Structure 1
Amino acid sequence: MADMNSLERAAILLMSMGEKDAAEVLKQMGPKEVQRVGAAMSTLKSVSQDTVSGVLNEFLNECGAQSGLGIGAENYIRNMLTEALGEDRARGFLDRILLGSSGSGINSLKWMDPRSVADVIRLEHPQIQAVVLSYLDADQSANILAQFPEKVRLEIMMRIASLESVQPEALKELNHILEKQFSGKGSNPSTVIGGTKTAAEIMNNLDGAVEQELMEAIKGVDEDLGNQIQDLMFVFDNMRDVDDRGIQSLLREVSSEVLILALKGADDFLKEKFFNNMSKRAAELLRDDLEAKGPVRIVEVEAAQKEILVVARRMADAGEIQLGGGSEAMI
């Protein structure tokens, strides 16, 4: 149990439930969650009865600590978010929550492969394309953006970086149009969407060569905007700024195979940072595996590093780790 990450425990739990019950649980998850859990289930080999019992007991203990009280009222959510985030930020979150609760329209795009989404929005106005990519997760948006020609990518990214808000009615209308496509009140406050942070997140998920090409193109049009996006980008080399506790948490969520590939492209300082946050035995094994790995393609290294960055950003969004180490102000 101590050597298992949360994904592996979730996979064991679902496989212990039986197909019907597990399917009902998966229905409540988003596409990326289903993909991650499904991948973990596919890699499970021989699991001992003691391990299964341990996972089930842990799950039951966590469930026993819950109150069982489910609150989904819009007013409650609105008041809670406003109290926690302030009115402006809460409004944007609430619009996304309510829109995302639908299984159709824009939310349906999250379940589609990047090429299919690109085909759906290919003939739309670039501003519509920018809004859609701003709404989707950054890694999916990056894969969709890669389906477009270079000039189109540049225009879409420039528009994403310049976005500040979208009227809720406009977002709902777009959602309605997409619903119709899949099935054969201007005074309202705006929804916060897009911006340089969104652009940076999408750039982080692009292939290395495409990312560099697009950044140069953006700077060619607007150097200040390009620098703002670049300043917000979090690349693998920035892992040196994550504190030791964060690295330790991250290591529990990353497979050794992915870590080996990622560290093949890291400098000695960053390698030592990871080694120093492992047990002595684990660090020795990792060093041996790195030496035995031999040459690997750059594209494989970049893919592994991006996979770790996706996990790191997810954990940072959940408040489990802090990206940037001690450079951020604390109160």
Structure 2
Amino acid sequence: MSIGISSRTPGPKVLKGPERVAALLLAMGKPAASKVLKHFNSDEIRLVTKSAALLGQVTTNQIEALVDEFASNFSNGTDLVGNASEIEKLLSGILPPDQVSDIMNEVIGNANRNIWDRISSVSENVIAAYLMKEHPQTAALILSKVRPSCAAKVMAQMPQKLRNSLMRRMLSMKPVVDETMKNIEATLHEDFMTNFSKNAGADSHAKMADIINKMERDHMEDVLTDLAAVRPKSAEILKSLLFTFDDIIKLAPRDRTMLFDQIQTDRVVLALKGTGEEFRKIVLSALSSRVRRMVEHELGGKDPVPHRDVIEARRAITDAALEMAARGEIVINSENEDEASVY
């Protein structure tokens, strides 16, 4: 969703997950909430505490909707404001003072962080993907507000042309009026931070796919087979996110050429050891004439190569492809599932 520079009044906050729990606990008050919190483990208390500290105002209508959802009637409730002091009152008497102090020190630190500090702590790949969908002037403004170390990492993920354009815009940027900046910050929180939390489930599949991508092929297949028997939908999502060395032949010719332009010749030679003739032919077609001759010459040698070195070379090429795809430099096509293994 493009945030632009136009003003926009954010609507009521949509409560999700731990925020809903925090709102209900605060609405209960200390006596009832204390009884509930005794059944939480320390990690759950820590998570709810953080949510309560960042909760802000919750209207009566929202509280009533929450209570109705849990089969209760809360028709005479009042608005509440979630903050660190309120949740600290709930925790006192339930947990030892030193544990309450540790939790609150962590929570207050997070609550006092502004939107720019919070964005600065997010993965540079996520920020770069978000900013590449925005107008360059908006992207430049955001990069000028986050921590310099974060901005540098994000810029490194950008295509060269866009990176240079953003630098020029940042150098010539004029001050933004307070009202406009507040609107941008509110929109960023809604479109970026909230959606980032909302998509945590989808992000877990991406993280798991990244782990599986780095497994040995037989281990990968074993994990997916086992998962398919228990959680078939998750298995399908993971399969769509995976990219193995076999999948290189599914790349568009231009993308394949861009990929192998980044790979050292000796690594290409190692990776192609033991591959089928057709697979090897497709990869060689992506190389320049000079490099192709060098690779063909090396592949003609009969010197044995440790299997571990071959696997590491293939994994390095696969990782490079995934990184380039994350930066938007190439497109990984995982839809063609009927390609047979070629090695």
Scaled by the length of structure 1, what TM-score is found?
0.43
Scaled by the length of structure 2, what TM-score is found?
0.42
Which one has more relative contact order, counting CA pairs under 8 Å at least 6 apart?
2
State the structure with more CA Rg: 2
